[in-house]
Amino acid sequence: MAADPHLLFEDWFAEARAREPHDAEAMALATADAAGRPSVRMVLLKGHDERGFVFYTNGHSRKGEELAANPRAALLFHWKSLRRQVRIEGNVSPVSPIEADAYFATRARDSQLGAWASDQSRPLISREAFERRFAQLQAAYEGKDVPRPPHWSGYRVAPERIEFWSDRPHRLHERRLFTRAGPGWTEGLLYP
C-alpha cells in the first residue's frame, strides 16, 4: 500500500509515457450540466501535482459551460498496453491566468491561432468557413505574438477519489481506492 496516490500516479504515468504507444496523456473527461445530463470526451493532461490534474480548453465549449454550471468532473486514464487504468473524481476550478498564459505560450503557433478561430462546440456552416477564419487570423497576427483568448484557459480537477485498477488473470483484478481525508488520504481495496 502507498501513502500518497500522487506518487503512485507519477510512477504509473512515467511507465505509460515510456511504454504506451499512443498518447499516454489522453484521458476521458466526464462532466454534467446543471440538470445532471452527462457527457464525456477525450482531452490531454497538461500538468499534475498534489493540487490536481490540469487540462486546457475553450470556456465557451460544451465542457466549459458544463463546468461553469456544475464544477465537478471525472477523469479516466486507460493504458491498454499496460492493462491499467486510473479513475479520478473531484471538484474543478480554473487555473490562474498566469498559468494559462504560460501554457498558451508553449503551444504551436497554429494551435494558438486555432484557439481564436474555433467557436468550439458551436454549429459550423462549412469547413471552408473555418479555414477562412483561420487564414484571416494568420494574416492579422503575422509577425506578432498570439495572445491567449480570454475565453480559453485551463481547469484543475482536485481529486477527492483516485482509483488504480490493474488487470489480473481470470478477472480477479486489483482495485486500489484512495479517498481524500482532510489533508491526507485513506486507502482501501474494492472487489473487482
Q: Which residue has the cell 479513475?
A: 87
Give the torsion sign (CA, 41, 34, 164, 15): positive
| 62 catalytic per annotation | no
Which residues are registered as beta bridge partners of 78? Answer: 85
Give the separation between CA 165 and CA 100, rounded to whole angstroms.
Answer: 31
**Residue of 19, 127, 133, 171 marked catalytic:** 171
Query: CB burial class (10 A; 0-12, 13-18, 19+) of residue 51?
Result: middle
Q: Which residue numbers are catalytic?
A: 171
